[in-house]
């Protein structure tokens, strides 16, 4: 069977072997849904160099155009599930149908991937694809706290992610090293705590209008933004602006070890932190001023965020007593629920009695859980809420891809090969957790070592495609395409498309790039 170069693998694909392919010619016109035709014109022209006219009226060639043009037609028809589409390619035309704009949007990305050829000779094999997502939540996370990343970079990452059918951008907006979102209720945060990044590199922050620009850009690409304000730990930067809200840094053995390994200085009250250690900071748990602060921050963020989720962090509060942590998580999650948002928290919050029942958990343990992290994750499901799976030894995109890579970390059993990023199955990570308990899959990219878009690309690609397949495609065993060998063959054919999109992917030796 010829290799259909579609990633993530579609639910079903029939390749009409022997049938002539669709070829691009001067008489191809794009017809139908206006948004879809406009996007298809842009993406297909970028890939093929062939500019195709968009017909103004449905199924009609533009004036003065050759008779009997070959159509690529996009239409909305009721009947398919959300985000799903049907794509039929024949030599005499292409038809894409969906029940919603998101479905048509994804059909165009599939079409772009199917284009084969070079140097003016481009074709698309005759296929029939019927495709639906496995999970509703398909996320990528970008840490803009350890190193700040501009609106332009975030938009570029959105474009990359949506082309692999991701529909959530989780922005890690705050951490020990900086506060990256302007809030009118707490102006000191960005005024005092956004100036630097890891390594003493320049910092930055999003103004409220920058944030709106990102939210709107994402929405126009069928993507929801989930903002994270990480509390009660990861809050050293808060202390630069509001020293009365934070505890003294806990200088544990772990902190000394990290400083020894990576350099940098020990965290110090009132001084920006530019190292790589975690777990030394905390908001004051037993002070009402802390909850006034959270009410301001989450309240304003909720008003700026059209999506349903607010992420409260909750990870690695290493210096906080369990009872204090539980009390804090109870109040923070309730506050978010009272704002009519769904709280999201890293899996540690599952250990907190009183966690609001609606809180979605994000699991960052390993594919084979250790240290009881699976117990904490199961607690969310027991509450009747769902889980997002981000197994760190598979889809933490900030792990080194190879031992000699200059970028990336290694703590999660790194380096992480493309094969390891691919070879895991969501429903078997946490015993007792099945598809019904899983909201989705998210691939985080922490940015301790990541300063710009080239570095993002080099770490994310191609492993981000493995995460996309876990999030979108049928489970392992339910499709012939869901094997490592099929995946690497399909990914190997995406190099020219990725290059045409400006993606500086790592040409991993595990893949035969064609
Ligand atoms: C762990 S896993 C973190 C982050 C680091 C990351 C680096 C989790 C929720 N927190 O604070 O940036 O490792 O890989």
With a threshold of 0.95, does the pTM exceed it? yes
**End residue of a domain, out of 72, 96, 131:** 131
For residue 133, the CA-to-ligand 1 centroid distance in Å is: 28
Does ligand 1 come within 6 angstroms of the Cβ of 446?
Answer: yes
Partners of 175 in beta bridges: 178
Q: Judge if 446 and 303 occupy the same domain.
A: yes
Q: How far apart are CA 250 and CA 319, in angstroms?
A: 6
Task: For a ligand 1 pocket test, name from 171, 274, 315 the mutation site with the most ligand atoms within 8 angstroms of its C-beta.
Answer: 315
Q: Judge if 118 and 154 occupy the same domain.
A: no
Backbone angles phi, psi at 247, to 5 degrees: -80, 165
Q: Judge if 208 and 333 occupy the same domain.
A: yes
Does ligand 1 come within 6 angstroms of the Cβ of 398?
Answer: yes
For residue 446, the CA-to-ligand 1 centroid distance in Å is: 7
Of 82, 75, 80, 81, the residue nearest 97 (C-alpha):
75
For residue 239, the CA-to-ligand 1 centroid distance in Å is: 20
Sign of the CA dihedral running 494, 496, 498, 504: positive
ipTM, 2 dp = 0.96
Q: Judge if 44 and 157 occupy the same domain.
A: no
Q: What is the pLDDT of residues 310-350, one digit of tens each?
A: 999 999 999 899 999 999 999 999 999 999 999 999 999 99
Ligand 1 atom 2: residue of nearest CA: 364
Ligand 1 atom 4: residue of nearest CA: 446
pLDDT for 121: 87
Instruction: Give the H or E element holding residue 151.
Output: helix 151-162
What is the atom index within ligand 1 of the atom nearest the CA of 390?
Answer: 2
pLDDT for 64: 61
Does ligand 1 come within 6 angstroms of the Cβ of 346?
Answer: yes
55 CB-near residues (< 8 Å, 6+ apart):
29, 30, 31, 37, 61, 62
For residue 209, the CA-to-ligand 1 centroid distance in Å is: 28
pLDDT for 109: 98
Q: Is residue 507 part of a domain?
A: no
Q: Judge if 233 and 381 occupy the same domain.
A: yes
Does ligand 1 come within 6 angstroms of the Cβ of 315?
Answer: yes
Q: Judge if 154 and 113 occupy the same domain.
A: no
Six-digit token string for 18: 């022997």
- Domain of residue 122, residue span: 12-131
Q: DSSP secondary structure string, 283-313?
A: B-TT-HHHHHHHHHHHHHHHHH--SSEEEEE
For residue 488, the CA-to-ligand 1 centroid distance in Å is: 28
State the catalytic residues. 316
What is the atom index within ligand 1 of the atom nearest the CA of 411?
Answer: 14
Q: How far apart are CA 175 and CA 177, in angstroms?
A: 5
Does ligand 1 come within 6 angstroms of the Cβ of 228?
Answer: no
Ligand 1 atom 6: residue of nearest CA: 446
For residue 254, the CA-to-ligand 1 centroid distance in Å is: 14
What is the atom index within ligand 1 of the atom nearest the CA of 278?
Answer: 11
Task: For a ligand 1 pocket test, name from 144, 276, 316, 410 the mutation site with the most ligand atoms within 8 angstroms of its C-beta.
Answer: 316
What is the atom index within ligand 1 of the atom nearest the CA of 313?
Answer: 9
Q: Is residue 103 part of a domain?
A: yes
> How many residues would you count in the chain?
514
First to last CA, the chain: 17
For residue 195, the CA-to-ligand 1 centroid distance in Å is: 21
**End residue of a domain, out of 106, 131, 156:** 131
Task: For a ligand 1 pocket test, name from 233, 261, 267, 278 the mutation site with the most ligand atoms within 8 angstroms of its C-beta.
Answer: 278
Regarding beta strands 309-313 and 342-346, do their DSSP bridges make them parallel or antiparallel, or are they unpaired?
parallel
Q: Is residue 271 part of a domain?
A: yes
Q: Judge if 366 and 318 occupy the same domain.
A: yes
For residue 256, the CA-to-ligand 1 centroid distance in Å is: 18
- Cβ–Cβ < 8 Å for 137, 168: yes
pLDDT for 87: 98
What is the atom index within ligand 1 of the atom nearest the CA of 143?
Answer: 12
Q: Is residue 54 part of a domain?
A: yes
Does ligand 1 come within 6 angstroms of the Cβ of 280?
Answer: no
What is the atom index within ligand 1 of the atom nearest the CA of 412?
Answer: 14
Q: Is residue 185 part of a domain?
A: yes
Q: Judge if 391 and 422 occupy the same domain.
A: yes
Does ligand 1 come within 6 angstroms of the Cβ of 316?
Answer: yes
Q: Is residue 56 part of a domain?
A: yes
Q: Judge if 215 and 261 occupy the same domain.
A: yes
- 201-224 core/surface letters (b: 16 or more CB in 10 A; e: else): eebbbbeeebbeebbebbeebbbb
- Cβ–Cβ < 8 Å for 236, 246: yes
Does ligand 1 come within 6 angstroms of the Cβ of 424?
Answer: no
For residue 394, the CA-to-ligand 1 centroid distance in Å is: 14
Does ligand 1 come within 6 angstroms of the Cβ of 400?
Answer: no
Does ligand 1 come within 6 angstroms of the Cβ of 442?
Answer: no
Does ligand 1 come within 6 angstroms of the Cβ of 396?
Answer: yes
pLDDT for 63: 63
State which residues of the chain have pLDDT below 50.
Answer: none
Q: Is residue 106 part of a domain?
A: yes
**End residue of a domain, out of 69, 104, 131:** 131
Ligand 1 atom 7: residue of nearest CA: 446
For residue 447, the CA-to-ligand 1 centroid distance in Å is: 9
Q: How far apart are CA 214 and CA 208, in angstroms?
A: 10
Does ligand 1 come within 6 angstroms of the Cβ of 409?
Answer: yes
Q: Judge if 274 and 303 occupy the same domain.
A: yes
Q: Is residue 512 part of a domain?
A: no
Count the domains in the chain. Answer: 2
**Burial of residue 434 (number of CB atoms within 10 Å: 0-12, 13-18, 19+):** exposed
Q: Judge if 178 and 40 occupy the same domain.
A: no
Q: Judge if 24 and 168 occupy the same domain.
A: no
CATH number where 437 lies: 3.20.20.80
CATH number where 111 lies: 3.30.379.10
């Amino acid at each position: 069977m010829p290799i259909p170069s579609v990633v993530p693998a579609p639910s079903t694909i029939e390749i009409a072997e022997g049938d002539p392919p669709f070829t691009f010619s001067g008489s191809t016109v794009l017809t139908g849904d206006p948004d879809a035709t406009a996007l298809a014109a842009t993406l297909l022209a970028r890939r093929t160099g062939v500019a195709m006219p968009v017909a103004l009226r449905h199924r009609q060639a533009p004036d003065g155009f050759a008779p009997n043009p070959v159509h690529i037609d996009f239409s909305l028809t009721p009947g398919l599930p959300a985000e799903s589409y049907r794509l039929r390619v024949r030599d005499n035309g292409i038809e894409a149908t969906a029940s919603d704009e998101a479905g048509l949007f994804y059909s165009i990305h599939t079409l772009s991937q199917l284009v084969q050829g070079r140097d003016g000779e481009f074709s698309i094999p005759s296929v029939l694809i019927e495709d639906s997502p496995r999970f509703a939540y398909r996320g990528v996370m970008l840490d803009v706290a350890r190193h700040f990343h501009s609106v332009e970079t975030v938009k570029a990452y959105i474009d990359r992610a949506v082309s692999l059918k991701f529909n959530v951008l989780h922005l890690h907006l705050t951490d020990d090293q900086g506060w990256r979102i302007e809030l009118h209720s707490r102006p000191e945060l960005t005024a005092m705590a956004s100036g630097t990044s890891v390594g003493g590199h320049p910092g930055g922050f999003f103004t409220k209008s920058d944030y709106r620009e990102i939210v709107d850009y994402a929405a126009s690409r069928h993507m929801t933004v989930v903002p994270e304000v990480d509390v009660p730990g990861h809050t050293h930067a808060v202390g630069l602006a509001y020293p009365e809200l934070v505890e003294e840094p806990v200088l544990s053995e772990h902190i000394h070890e990290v400083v020894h390994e990576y350099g940098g200085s020990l965290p110090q009250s009132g001084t920006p932190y530019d190292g790589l250690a975690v777990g030394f900071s905390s908001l004051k748990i037993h002070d009402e001023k802390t909850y006034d602060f959270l009410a301001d921050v989450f309240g304003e963020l909720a008003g700026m965020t059209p999506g349903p989720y607010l992420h409260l962090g909750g990870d690695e509060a290493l210096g906080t007593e369990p009872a204090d942590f539980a009390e804090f998580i109870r109040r923070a999650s309730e506050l978010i629920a009272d704002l009519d948002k769904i709280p999201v928290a890293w899996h540690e919050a599952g250990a907190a009695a009183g966690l609001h029942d609606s809180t979605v958990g994000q699991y960052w343990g390993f594919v084979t859980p250790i240290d009881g992290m699976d117990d904490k994750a199961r607690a969310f499901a027991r509450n009747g809420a769902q889980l997002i799976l981000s197994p760190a030894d598979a889809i933490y995109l900030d792990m080194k891809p190879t031992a000699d890579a200059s970028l990336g970390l290694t703590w999660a059993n790194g380096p992480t090969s493309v094969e390891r990023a691919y070879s895991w199955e969501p429903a078997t990570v946490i015993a007792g957790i099945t598809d019904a308990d899983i909201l989705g899959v998210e691939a985080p990219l922490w940015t301790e070592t990541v300063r710009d878009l080239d570095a993002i690309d080099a770490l994310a690609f191609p492993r981000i495609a493995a995460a996309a397949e876990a999030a979108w495609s049928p489970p392992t065993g339910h499709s012939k395409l869901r094997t490592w060998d099929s995946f690497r063959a399909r990914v190997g054919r995406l190099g020219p498309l990725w290059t045409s999109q400006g993606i500086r992917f790592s040409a991993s030796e595990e893949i035969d790039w064609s």
